[in-house]
Structures are given as C-alpha cells and as structure tokens.
Amino acid sequence: MTPIAHTMVGLGGWIGFSKRPGIKEMVAFVLAANLPDGDFLLRLIPAVRRAMPHQYFTHNLLFALLSAVILFGLVRGIRLRLALAGVALSHLALDLVVTDTAAPIGFPLLWPFSERLFHVGGFPSLRRGDPAVVFSRGNLVVVILELLLFALPLWLLAGRRLAKMIGSEGFRRKK
C-alpha cells in the first residue's frame, strides 16, 4: 500500500479513539501507521539498497510494536496506546494483501524469530522505476483505488469530526 492508505488508517485510529484533539496524538497515529516504510527512504542510499531489501527488517511484528512503544510518549492512557499499537500492526496487515512483484516476495512477519516470508497478494501494487513507470496509468489506478477505499470512507464517516478536531484550539495548543 502507499502512504495514502496507511495515513488514512492512522487518521481513522486517531479519530476513533482520541477524545482530545491534540496534534501530538495525530502525529503519533500517522507515524505509527507509516513507520515500517521508513526503510524505503533509507534504501534511496545505494549501499543500503544493496544490503537491505525493502520490507525486510521493518515489516515484522517486533518492529511495528517497538515503533508503537516509542510513540507511546505522545499519547496518554492505555486505551490510546493499545489503539496506537493496533494502527502500527495495521501496516503489516495492509501490506500482506498487496501483490508483491519485487524479490523477495513477501516479508518476514515473525523476524527475528523466523525468516519465513508472508504474502497474500490480491491488491495491485505501485510499480517503481523511471518517471514513465511511476506516472503510468496502472499506478494512477492504484492511487485512485486507495483513495476510494480509504480516504473516501474516512471523509464520509468522520470528515466532520476530523475538521472539528483539527480546527479546535486544543489541536494547536502545546501540552
């Protein structure tokens, strides 16, 4: 999945579980939803790209849960912390259903305890490469699908609450 879907799930978790409209909480949920893809940025460095396949060390239960624990300081209460951990784990669930086209196929969900690769597939993936590939019709279809499946429902179900939370004084106030 792209950051679109992961971010929408993070925002949905924040809207669904937060009672306070704080920017720190929102950032924690969006980060938790996206952190496993941080390896993508590291892989822009050629030496790292050769040594670390995408979705290898960051796409596992241990990394997702540790990411959530690191972000616990930005949220208060056990309920929000459990929701944050759930959002972090959602990244793995979403990526499991994306059709993986780059070797190695799948990711080691149980690493470091097992190196077995998990992959379900079914949802189309973004193709990477030169600008003609990146801006292809197929990639546009993937982005539109994610917007329809993740952003549109969030907007329809919680758009008013999201606008209210972000527009409130408590959202901008430092705590």
Going from N- to C-terminal start, the domains of the chain cover 3-166
pLDDT at 129: 78
Instruction: Report how far apart, in Å, the C-alpha atoms of 34 and of each of 73, 91, 169 are.
Output: 17, 7, 26
Class of residue 149 by CB neighbours under 10 A (exposed 0-12, middle 13-18, buried 19+): middle
Q: What is the pTM of this model?
A: 0.89
Q: What angle do CA 130, 2, 85 make, to 5 degrees?
A: 145
Residue 115, φ and ψ in degrees, nearest 5: -100, 5
| CA 6/CA 59 separation, integer angstroms | 13
pLDDT at 61: 97
pLDDT at 175: 53
Per-residue pLDDT of the chain (175 residues), as tens digits, is: 999 999 999 999 999 999 877 899 999 999 999 999 988 777 777 777 777 777 778 999 999 999 999 999 999 999 999 999 999 999 999 999 999 887 788 999 999 999 999 999 999 998 887 889 889 999 999 999 999 999 999 999 998 888 888 888 778 765 5
| Residue 158: both structure tokens together | 């919680």
